[in-house]
Amino acid sequence: MALAPSSWQRTPPALSDNRRKRRPDASPPSHHFHGPQSHSRLSQRLRRWFPLPPQARSVVFDMGNYVSGLFGGRQPKDNGLGLLKSWYDARSRDLTVATDEETGTAQRLLDRRVKDSRKAALEAVKRQQRQKSEPYYKKALEEARRNDGRLEEIGIEVRLKEEKLAEIRKLDKAAKEDLSELFKPLTEEEENEVHDCFHARGPSSKVLVLHEPSNIEVSKEKFQCLRPRHWLNDEVINLYLELLKEREKREPKRFLKCHFFNTFFYKKLACGKNGYDYKSVKRWTTHRKLGYELIECDKIFVPVHKDVHWCLAIINMKENTFHYLDSLGGTDHNVLNMLARYIAEEVKDKSNKVIDTSSWHEEIVDGIPLQQNGWDCGMFMLKYIDFHSRGLSLSFSQEHMEYFRKRTAKEILKLRAD
């Protein structure tokens, strides 16, 4: 029996206008913090008109061919860069990792996910109340410095001279670097061998290369990702990183002591119940497996795959810094926060030492080489690693990518990185 209208519960008139209505079929809000949701109108239109195609999940995705197909056989002026950015912007929000609690190992770097805004606000007020006021003499000193124009002028002069000195040192270092080996042309025989593997007929499942120490095999189909306008896949990237490890062992005096994590490490570390799971990767770096501990390394390379885009994170153990290299010019503090937490736990577990990563800083490198199309991010990442492992500046650009693809193909076929 239906209730009479007079018995219905009514919303007070003062509140009815301010209530937010929710559609019954609306999905629940995500528990991750995604940051600002600002996207350009062009980016939103590109995502709506051209969503990420299913074939992008395949082992070899010809991004260049896909883009030209969208534009009636013509190649757009930006070579698909705008389309890649629209996919990347739409999906990067879902890849942000947040932790449930602060660890104390990197107070400056690590953030905290807020589940209850009211509770968080109360805690913030309590923390403010507990904070001690700054001594009066410090306030007075700061005030005196602000009022002293001469000190400010001297500070500006010092900064300018330091910047000029850093630029001179950078140019001097670049002049001393021998880059001839890094751009050595392929011989005619090597060119033919690479061309045959790219274009020869035969079953796509045929294994072209087997790296026995790592048990990584690259089939004819997977090898095609090194052709121009294709996205690089895990097998090719991981095999090349294995070759870089062997190169360092062969010539330890020529190359820095580095550790190269494969493409699955960060996925494993970041996919725990709370967005961080050290236990899942704890056994990856035992002394028995590596023959060394990470604290002994100069640099640690961590490939980061953001669904449609490759980036690189570097832990510089000698300079106590973190680097994030993105060929689209972006940055991700959450990745570096997680690695700060990881390296502190790793050193404590394997070396029984305590390092305070809160005193480490993120080093921003201006003028890194950036991609100018929608398919070369993987190759940029590999060359970031190659140049950094040599201790060289990143002295390459988009125009070198076709050569680097052929060179990488040649090195993989020979199972030896030069």
Tens digits of residue pLDDT in 347-372 = 999 999 999 999 999 987 778 999 99
pTM of the predicted model, to two decimals?
0.69
Q: Please indicate whether residue 25 is annotated as part of the active site.
A: no
Which of 409, 344, 273 lies closest to 110, judged by CA? Answer: 344
Q: Please indicate whether residue 377 is annotated as part of the active site.
A: yes
Q: Please indicate whether residue 309 is annotated as part of the active site.
A: yes
Contact 337, 275 (CB under 8 A): no
How much is the pLDDT for 159? Answer: 77
Which of 240, 316, 304, 311 lies closest to 269, judged by CA? Answer: 304
Select which of 326, 332, 376, 386 is catalytic: 326
Tens digits of residue pLDDT in 222-238 = 999 999 999 999 999 99
Place 128 in a pLDDT band, splitting at 50, 70 and 90: low
Average confidence (pLDDT) over 383-407: 95
How much is the pLDDT for 398? Answer: 96
243, pLDDT greater than 70: yes
CB atoms within 10 A of CB 330: 15
Tens digits of residue pLDDT in 22-43 = 554 545 554 444 444 444 566 5
Span 185-414: which CATH code? 3.40.395.10
Residues with Cβ within 8 Å of residue 251, at least 6 apart in sequence: none
Tens digits of residue pLDDT in 2-17 = 444 444 444 444 444 4
Tens digits of residue pLDDT in 312-357 = 999 999 999 999 999 999 999 999 999 999 999 999 999 999 999 9
Beta strands, E only, 285-405: 299-305, 310-316, 321-325, 361-362
Place 244 in a pLDDT band, splitting at 50, 70 and 90: very high
Tens digits of residue pLDDT in 295-317 = 999 999 999 998 899 999 999 99
**Rounded Cα–Cα distance for residues 140 and 179 (Å):** 54
**Rounded Cα–Cα distance for residues 200 and 213 (Å):** 28
Select which of 309, 323, 332, 388 is catalytic: 309
Share of the chain above pLDDT 70, in %: 72
Select which of 197, 305, 377, 388 is catalytic: 377
